[in-house]
Amino acid sequence: MDVLFPLSTYWWFYAAFIAFVLVLLAVDLGVFHRRAHAVGFRESLIWSVVWIVLALAFNYGLYRYAAASFGEEAGARIGLEFLAGYIVERSLAVDNLFVFVLLFQYFAVPAQWQHRVLFYGIIGALVFRGAFIALGSVLMQYHAVVLLFGVFLLVTGVKMLFTPDQKIEPERNPITRLFRRVVPVTSQFEGQRFVIRRGGRWYATPLFVALLCVETSDIIFAVDSVPAIFAISREPLIVFTSNVFAILGLRAMYFLLAAAVERFDLLKYALALVLIFVGLKMVWLNQLFDGTFPIEWSLGIIAVILVGGVVASLLATKNGKNEVATKDGKDAKSLERAAS
């Protein structure tokens, strides 16, 4: 299938989109988050809605442009591919939230500085994702690479299903250990600064080490998410833009779900099933449907899996609370009887 938006022709679109994203980030940090503060639920909810609305507005504009340029059928396919890719990337980003929560707890990062770490972490993520997508768009032209990525996603999904969660230990991270050997690190935070200068020598702060761990974790997650979205669409433009919108909304989603992230403990298995599905799509299902598995079916299957994971997590949490409440009630009654 030919690419509708080759970089050589639509370089101006990429440039305009990147400029638009940079303006959004500048407004975000320079206006709305100029002063460090703890992001509350209401603020994070508003920003989550803003980023989702922007993504959907972009999706609609892309659909209208593609329909006018290549026909209604191509426009509908482009629009659905962006939507499916965006949902997959946002869903896989939830896994990042678990890691971010643990990292901030480990480094004891104050709530008012967490937004700053995530902001610069996301800028780095955009750069690395762009590089990975550019490399992937070249490699995905080879069928053997497509099969290899598909098998990798299948193995990753199966591991997520059956492997228990590993404890996060940033100090064992090779990059963190190497960094501490090369660059001296202060023993305590220095406000919201990442580096300071003392006695003619530069020092990194624990806030910078936390940022380094956030960047490292995102690179690791990109190894899964970039091949996963290439299973949805072969259009580099869709892969790039849907990735960017998913990453931009990650900060707001973190503050929105950080307190409740433990309630979605079964979502891990839903994400594993999504990876297995997109792996099967690359390895087998596309060939079964003459090269392209219907995007409408892909979107429906992914939505059902994710909604099922959320509902199952909420039900499991509710049942767990009911069991605890019942047990506490029985214990209280037993104490009353013993006292009487």
Q: Are 234 and 140 within 8 A, CB to CB? A: yes
Q: Quick: pLDDT tens for 7-65.
A: 889 999 999 999 999 888 888 776 666 676 677 778 888 888 999 999 999 999 999 99
Q: Are 94 and 267 within 8 A, CB to CB? A: yes
Q: Are 8 and 234 within 8 A, CB to CB? A: no
Q: Give the Cα separation of 272 and 261 in Å (integer).
A: 17
In a domain, 276, yes or no: no
In a domain, 318, yes or no: no
In a domain, 132, yes or no: yes
Q: Concatenate the DSSP letters of all residues of 46-66 into one string.
A: HHHHHHHHHHHHHHHHHHHHH
Res 327 pLDDT > 60 = no
Res 81 pLDDT > 50 = yes
Least confident of 58-62, 168-172, 209-213, 320-324: 320-324
In a domain, 339, yes or no: no
Q: Give the Cα separation of 8 and 82 in Å (integer).
A: 21
Q: What is the pLDDT of residue 130?
A: 87
Residue 291, burial from CB neighbour count under 10 angstroms (0-12, 13-18, 19+): exposed
SS3 198: strand
Share of the chain above pLDDT 90, in %: 21
Res 202 pLDDT > 80 = yes
Structure tokens at 99: 């890691």
Q: Quick: pLDDT tens for 155-182.
A: 888 888 887 766 666 667 777 888 888 8
In a domain, 333, yes or no: no
Q: What is the pLDDT of residue 11?
A: 92
Confidence of residue 221 (pLDDT cuts 50, 70, 90): confident
SS3 292: coil
Q: What is the pLDDT of residue 335?
A: 46
Confidence of residue 259 (pLDDT cuts 50, 70, 90): low
Query: Could you give the count of Cα atoms lying within 13 Å of 190 in the half-sphere of its Cβ?
Result: 16
Bridge partners of 201?
Answer: 198
In a domain, 174, yes or no: yes
In a domain, 207, yes or no: yes
* Average pLDDT, integer, range 68-85: 93
DSSP 168: P
Structure tokens at 202: 């530069």
Q: Quick: pLDDT tens for 89-105.
A: 888 877 677 778 778 87
In a domain, 312, yes or no: no
Where in the sequence is the domain holding 258, given as residue range(s)?
7-262
Question: Between the CA atoms of 309, 311, 316 and 322, what dihedral angle is there, to the nearest 10 degrees?
Answer: 170
Angle subtended by helix axes 236-248 and 7-27, to nearest 10: 10
Tally the domains of the chain: 1
Q: Which of 235, 257, 238, 236 is nearest to 246 (CA)?
A: 238
Place of tokens 């761990």: 213
Q: Quick: pLDDT tens for 229-242.
A: 888 888 999 999 99
What single-letter amino acid sits at 59?
Answer: N
Least confident of 138-152, 216-230, 251-265: 251-265
Question: Who has greater pLDDT, 326 or 26?
Answer: 26
